[in-house]
Chain A
Amino acid sequence: MKVAVQVTCINDAMFPDTGEAVFTLLRRLGVAADFPAAQTCCAQPMVNTGYLDEAVPVVRNFVDAFAGYDAIVTPSGSCAGSVRHQHAMVARRSGDGRLAAAVARTSPKVYELTEFLVDVLGVTDVGAYFPHRVTYHPTCHSLRMLGVGDRPLRLLRAVRGIDLVELPAADECCGFGGTFAVKNAETSTAMGADKARHVLDTGAEVLVAGDNSCLLHIGGLLSRQRTGVRVMHLAEVLARTEDA
């Protein structure tokens, strides 16, 4: 099976350690994955803000970059959701039949990281070690757009040394929402403040989620409030072992 990792643009530019963690983890599980260097972005920022014409060349770049792979693994529920639910819409809008066909070929091969680990590789114990008090925020797009269910929690429960505590009102949105965070900044912050309060209530040292964009928002609030709670992508937790 030829596997590619869609590192995602935000991870590439802001959180390279997450991309690194995905490769570390896959290598440990015996998967030699590629980083197709032609990849950029899934086009979600344009699509969700209403700029569908602008999204067309970005989607075209996506299908070109990942053509020829059997599976495309992404450490982002939001980007996976965007590919599965929005690329067809963008292609339809472009009126380009070849693009539509390429999208139809590529989209079904995209897996959110936990889907790939649990469904394709069939593992829940990835051999990780992380001796910390952790709480998990299921991001909206993972939860509702993809329906990843309890896959992330099954993976986390199998981590050695972990003290996993439940997050109150876990399935409520953190208020990030892409450009919503700046177009409706006050509302976004109000939502995020409640999420941060719930995180603090758990007494966790680390907040884990499968999307760095949501963590950028919640983590930014937690840091501004000097709470001492750090945020980490799920892939980075799963990549940790007793050696590293």
Chain B
Amino acid sequence: MSGTFVGMPAFPAAAREALSDAQLRRNLAHATSTIRAKRAAVVGEVDEWEELRLAGAAIKDNVLHHLDEHLLRLEQSLTERGATVHWARDAAEACEIVASIARRHDADEVVKVKSMATQEIGLNEALAAHGITAWETDLAELIVQLGDDLPSHILVPAIHRNRAEIREIFRERMAAAGRPAPENLSDVPRELAAAARLHLREKFLRAKVAVSGANFAIAETGTLVVVESEGNGRMCLTLPEVLVSVVGIEKILPAWSDLDVFLQLLPRSSTGERMNPYTSMWSGGTEGQEAHVVLLDNGRTRALADEVGRQALRCIRCSACLNVCPVYERTGGHAYGSVYPGPIGAILNPLLRGVGVDEQTDSLPYASSLCGACFEVCPVRIDIPEVLVHLRSQVVDAHRAGPPKGEAVAMKSAAWVLSGARRLSWAERGMGVAGRVLNRLGRKVMPGGRRALGRLPWPGSLWSNARDVPAPPAESFRARWRREGRR
């Protein structure tokens, strides 16, 4: 895969490009509105949904508060069931562990179960540097990989593509990656899926090493759980001789019985289904299989140290927040410059990487209108708007030492004016004078009879390029109140 998020522009610039792509916006609007409606319908069926959300949040909070204990318990259970446990501080360590296991088995290719953790650490690229080819077996991941593209959604990485585009990718790229697409392939979904199935089958049967992530890791029993829709994951988990699972340290559930809550929350929130088609659970390897588990930090302990932000580690990667977000719907996932796009990406990336590191990461907490729709649908009640505001304050604080930006000057001045009524009153008088002048110059009358200002110079143009601005009134409310002597 040649696509990479490294060096992506900050959100506003990346969003501008996406917004000008009419096809992309149509694809996204269609896909997100469809899944949004499905989710709303199946969530509406569950009377105790709010109780389930609270239970999910509480279980995850418990895990996070005692993460050290749960992790040691998980390591012990996994080891007892024959798995080898590895600890990885960052992406480089995790990739190195996976590569060395593959090398030890003389594997020059691995099959992969769709996994956010391996995407996050750039495993495919790292393996390629070792001469090992990683084959994605999830249909949407396959589309992204064959298209030299980047994922744009947590659950449906190729959501930005329509079926005509997918047909072209299959026809042009499948042959170079293995079994070619059938002659005369149409863009009927069933035919596209059949082509992918044939293409992948030879890879499942050939591969000696598989790589997966895990949706949940149960500390009590040493059980890893993968929830999926297509069955490709089940093939990877059971067929190859060696299975390596890369698992974020926040994926723990303390006990087997906790799974009950999450197997209700996850499918309804993510695919809008009552239950997903495949749920695979394994404790150690299947018979004769060598099982490895890589426990990944990669910024999670940094996020954990953030009192307000740590709730983001409850995330079960359902993507409900993406599907409901009006910003995501219009900009798509690539604009977020990460495998974690949308509202959760806007908080998770800065929490994992830290703020003040680069402009792109610092732009993410601002990639939201704070409408709150994400919090409303989150199955584990992550208050994303609260975390966004908290992270914005961290971004501002990280830049306080440097030369002040125009925005900082504007905010400081506004705060000075707004911290005393007399100062505000002077400012309003100034606006009133300007308003009287502008009222005479402004030709356009807005519906309702008020005059509109013309196009303003920068930074006012950021507003007035697309929107009319009513001229300020000649008199503010407080001035009128005072003049009429009402007090």
Identify the A interface with B (CB < 8 A): 7, 9, 11-16, 19-20, 34-35, 37-41, 43, 45-52, 54-55, 57-58, 60-61, 65, 85-86, 93, 140-141, 143-145, 171-173, 175-192, 216-217, 219-224, 227-232
Contacts and interface: CB of A to CB of B under 8 A. Distances in A.
A223 B420 contact: no
A140 B370 contact: yes
B167 to A, nearest CB: 29
B415 interface: yes
B415 A50 contact: no
A34 B331 CA distance: 45
A58 B424 contact: no
A186 B15 contact: yes
Contacts of A45: 411, 414
Interface of B: 11-12, 15-16, 19, 25, 326-327, 330-331, 365-373, 375-376, 386, 389, 391-397, 407-408, 411-412, 414-415, 418-421, 424, 427-428, 431, 444, 446-448, 452, 459, 462-463, 465-470, 472-473, 475-478, 480-482, 486-487
A185 B428 contact: no
B12 A183 contact: yes
B326 A191 contact: yes
A39 B476 CA distance: 13
Nearest to A188: B369
A227 to B, nearest CB: 8
Given A37-B421, A187-B331, A220 B467 contact: yes
Contacts of B326: 172-173, 175, 191
A224 B415 contact: no
Nearest to B459: A182
Q: Among B368, B369, B411, B468, which residue has the most Cβ atoms of chain A within 10 A?
A: B369
A14 B473 contact: yes
Nearest to A182: B462
B455 to A, nearest CB: 10
Q: Among A34, A51, A52, A55, which residue has the most Cβ atoms of chain B within 10 A?
A: A51
A95 B482 CA distance: 36
Contacts of A220: 463, 466-470
Contacts of A19: 477
B413 to A, nearest CB: 10
Given A51-B408, A175-B369, A223-B444, 20 more contacts: A16-B480, A20-B480, A37-B421, A50-B393, A58-B415, A177-B370, A180-B366, A184-B327, A184-B366, A185-B12, A185-B465, A186-B19, A187-B12, A189-B465, A191-B326, A191-B330, A191-B369, A219-B470, A223-B468, A231-B448
A14 B468 contact: no
A110 to B, nearest CB: 17
Nearest to A61: B419
Contacts of A228: 447
A223 B396 CA distance: 35
B466 A35 contact: no
B10 to A, nearest CB: 10
A54 to B, nearest CB: 4
B477 A20 contact: yes
A177 B371 contact: yes
A7 B412 CA distance: 22
Nearest to B376: A144
B19 A183 contact: no
12 contacts: A7-B477, A13-B431, A13-B476, A14-B473, A47-B389, A185-B466, A187-B15, A188-B369, A219-B446, A219-B468, A221-B468, A223-B446
Given A58-B418, A184-B11, A9 B475 contact: no
Contacts of A46: 411, 414-415
B477 to A, nearest CB: 4
A215 to B, nearest CB: 10
A61 B420 contact: yes
A17 B411 CA distance: 27
A51 B331 contact: no
Contacts of A183: 12, 366
Contacts of A39: 421
A46 B414 CA distance: 8
A47 B418 CA distance: 13
Top 6 closest A-B pairs, CB basis?
A220-B467, A177-B369, A50-B392, A173-B371, A230-B447, A57-B419
Nearest to A183: B366
A44 B246 CA distance: 42
B415 A51 contact: yes
Contacts of B466: 185, 189, 192, 220-221, 224
Contacts of B331: 187
B372 A177 contact: no
B12 A186 contact: yes
A12 B415 contact: no
B426 to A, nearest CB: 12
A86 B370 CA distance: 13
Contacts of B375: 144
A189 B327 CA distance: 11
B373 A48 contact: no
A141 B447 contact: no
Contacts of B25: 190
A217 B469 CA distance: 9
Contacts of B470: 14, 216, 219-220
Nearest to A16: B477
A141 B183 CA distance: 54
B395 to A, nearest CB: 6
Contacts of A49: 392, 396, 407, 411
